[in-house]
Every structure is written in structure tokens, then in C-alpha cells.
Structure 1
């Protein structure tokens, strides 16, 4: 192997000796060390630069990432806030609508209640007015009916009075027996004429005291009771007549007894009931029989209703 060294300036080649060799090697080592140091420094610089660049890049990337994330979060937060605000606004509006509707409903209920109370008051007043009118009409009708019945009673009593006077005039022309028989016949004719739907029958000759029996019938021709009559035409009243007529009433199955007489007991001056027997004059007999007959019909009607219920 050649150990010659070529001069870079003149191009002359020569063999190096030990001193030169050492100097050259030393120089080469120094240059190599310097180059290595330089390269190392350059590498270190580049490495630092690269590290710095990477650091800056990472920081920039991190910053951008953080900024982007923060911006995204901020956007999301703003969107959430807007959504919440809209929901809150909508909820408030719904609450306002609900309160308004509730208030409107309450006002309508109050108006309806007021209208209902007003109508009820009007109906009460109308009903009260109608009841007053009906009561006035009923009272007027009763008053009219009462006056008519009084007038009818007066007319009947007047007719009976005239009839009694006529009978008295005719009776005075005959004997006392004839007068009594005439009054009995006149009483039967009066009852038959006044009550054509009833049955008027003469009591048999074997029965002392009683003259005739009236069988009362209603509008359906149903028997409702019996009235037994005894006619007396004397100047003085005898208490024995009452007991005799009551005995006849029981034996004949009659419900009411009527004694028609010219003379009244000392404690009576007009028609009335005494010891279970009705006492009246001939002029009063028709009106008295009307009342007694109506009473028997009502009692019979009530008795039939009770039997039907039983």
C-alpha cells in the first residue's frame, strides 16, 4: 500500500515521515473533530429548531384544537342558551295563555252563575206571581162558590118556607091526623123531586114513628147509605120522639135520622143535631138532606178506596 502524500498545491508526491504523519493525522483528527463538532452543533441546532418547530406546531395545534373546542362549546352553549330561552319563553307564553284562559273561564263561570241566579230569581218571582194569582183565583172561586151556595140555600129555604106555609094553610083545613099524613106525603114528594136518583120508600105500617127511608146513590148508582125520616106536626115537642126514631134507625139499618117537626126542643130555635138525630123544620129539610147526602157519599167513597188498598 502506498503511503505517499500528494501536495495539493504543486501536485508533488512524497513519502511522509513520522513527524509529518503525526502532524497530518493530528490535523486530520482536528478537522474531523471540528467537522464532527460542527455537524453535531448543526444537528443539535436543527434538532432544537425541529423540536422548537414541533413544539410550536404542537402548541399551535393544541391552541387551535382548544380554541376550536372552546368555540364549539361556546356555540353549543349559545345554542343551548337560545334553546332554553326559547323554551322558557314558550313556557312563559303557555303559562300566560293558561292563566288568561283560566281567568276567562272563571269570568265565564261567574257570568254563568250570575245569569243562572238571575234566571232562578226571575223564575221564583214568576212562580210566586203565578201562585199568588192562582191563590187569588182560588179564593175568588171559593168566594163565588160560597156566595152561590148561600144564594141557592136562601132560595131553597125561601121556597121551602113558602111550601111550608102552603102546607100549613092546607093542613089547617083538615084534622090533625089529616095534617100529619099530608106532611108525610108532601115530604116524600119533596125528596123524590129533589133527589131523583135516590130511592124514597115508605116505612111499613107496623113501624111506629118513622115515615120513609131515603137510599142515597152516587153518580154511578152505587148505594152510599140510608136516611130515615119522621115527620111531626104538633104544637109541642116530645123528647120521646128522638129515642123512638133512633130505635127505628137501628132496626131499619139506616145511617142518619132526620126529625122534621114544627115544634123544636126548648134549647133549639133552628135546625141542628141532638142526641144523634138531626132536627129541622119542613122549610129546612131539603137543605139539610143535601148536606147529609154529600157526607154519606164522601164517607162511602173513602171506605171503598180503603177497601181497594187493603
Structure 2
């Protein structure tokens, strides 16, 4: 069957079912488009009607709400005015009470100042009286002391005249002791850690023994000194000091002389004895001390462990160690006594301050109770007037 159709315009051939289908589709499409337009127009009109109805309803609701608000506002405004007026009256009353309290507080402060002033005046008067009495007593004591001093001055004047008389006569022994005292004072001043002691009379011919000690107060050696203030050098001094050195078991012997041997300019050594002028006392002593301490340190390092234990044991059993422990124990006891005294003083002070704080707190609570009874709940919150802890406040208010 031939179902082809030829277009008279373009000359193209089409299938007949396709032509019919295409025409049917165009017709249905136009029909549905028209119906959609009509439906869309109806929907738009419906939406406009709904919007208009909503607008009308909203206007009516606004009118009704405005009328209700006006009625309600007038009643609430009146109640609010009354409440404000009542609150204003309560505030005025509270301000009056606060003003009275402030006035009372000012009166109390003025009274306290007046009492303090009176007490201070009394203290000043008593202090003045005590000062005058002490001054009179001191004058009397000074008068007696002055008489005693005059008597002492007269006695000292007589003693000075007697000493001057003896000094004018001259003493050969005193002239020999002057260099010895000079040497001893210099060594004690420059070397306070060392033990400086004069040689006992009649035992040795030397003047001073210097026991050298290190920073641990340990003896490191002995220096024997002899001083001479003569116009002529004598060779026998060296041999005599050597004998004294052996007898004193001293490591070093030094002669300090105003006159030196001919071949010496300032200091030198002769037969194992150091010789120097008075200007080189400190220099010679410092040099010899340093060498003795170094030598003692070397010797100490060579001592065996057993010997060191013995030294330590001897030190622990020594009187020096005992005295040191006793001094530490006495210092601890003294500090304990001072601490106990300070504890007692602070306890008394704390008890006095605690009592004063309790009195102030009771007075403050009394004022708070009075105000609470007068004003009730209208009393504003004032710091320090809370009569109950924060956790029990609501429970207390519910009871009333």
C-alpha cells in the first residue's frame, strides 16, 4: 500500500500517518495552551481576591486591636502611675532614713574624734610630766656624776703627773718593749685570722709568735719574730733566734731591725733567718704566710684516709666542736623564745581586733534589723545589712 503524500509546495514526500500525527499534535498543543492561559488568568484573579480579603481582614483586626489596646492602656497607665507614686513615697522615706543615719554617723565620728583628742591630750600631759620628772632626776644624777667626775679627774691628774715623772726618769725595759708592741699590733691588724701572742718573758729571747691559720682556722705553721731598735747590727742575733726557733718548733724565723747587715739593702736571708726593716713587716709576713699555707695544703692532701678519719674523729670530740654545737643550740633556744613571745603578742592582738570587729558587726546588724522592721521589703539592698546568708534569704522571706 502506498501511504506517501507529496507536498505540492516543496515537492517532498511524507508518510501519511506522520502528517496526521503532526496535525493532531498541533491542534492539541493549541487547545492546551489556551486552556492553560484561561486557568492562569483565573488563578491570578483568585490570588487578587485572596489578597484583598486578607487586607480587609487585617484592617479590621488592626481596628479591633487598637480599641482593645486603648482600653487596656488606660487601665495599666493608671495602675502604673499609682505604683510609681507609691514607689516615690517609699524612696523619699528611705532617703529621709538614710539622711538621719548619715547624720548619726557623722555625730558618732565627731564624738570619736573628740574622745581621741581628749585621750591624746591626757597622754601628752602624762608624757610631759614624765619627761619633766625624768629631766629633774637626770639633773640630780648628773650633779652627782659631775662631782664624781671631778674627783676622778683630780685623781687622774695626779696619776699622770706620777707617770710623767717616772717616764722622765726613763726605763730601759720599756724602751725594749716598744718595738715588740709595734710589731704585735701590726700583725694582729693585718692578719686577724692568725693567732698572735707575745713570747713569755724569761722563756725565749724572741718577741712574738705568729701561728698561721687558713680559712678553716687550721694551723699551718709558726713564724717567730724578733724586733731590734739599735744603732749597730750584731751577728749574734741570728744564732740566738735560730735557737729560739728550734725551741718554739717554728717553721720560719724573722728579724725586724732598724739597722741591717752591711750587704743588705731592705731585706734578705742569713743562715736560714729572714732579715728585714720595719717597712717590710707586712710584705715578709704575707709572703711567708702564703708559702706556709700552700705547704700545709700539700701535706694535708698527702695524709691517708685513715689519718683524716682520725683528725675528723678528734675534731668531733674536741672542745671547739662542742662549743660550736652549744652555740648553735643556744641560738635555736633564743629564736624559740623570741618566736613564742611573738606568738603570744599576735594572739593578744588578734583577740582584741576580733572582739572589736564583733562589736562593730553587732551594731551594724542592729541597724539593719531596725531598718528592716521599719521599711520591710521596700528597703533597698545595702551591702553589710544582710542578716542571713544568701542561701537562706528566700526561705526567710517565705516565712513572712
TM-score computed with the length of structure 1 as normaliser: 0.43
Larger Rg: 1
Q: Which has the higher contact order (CA 8 A, sep 6+)?
A: 1
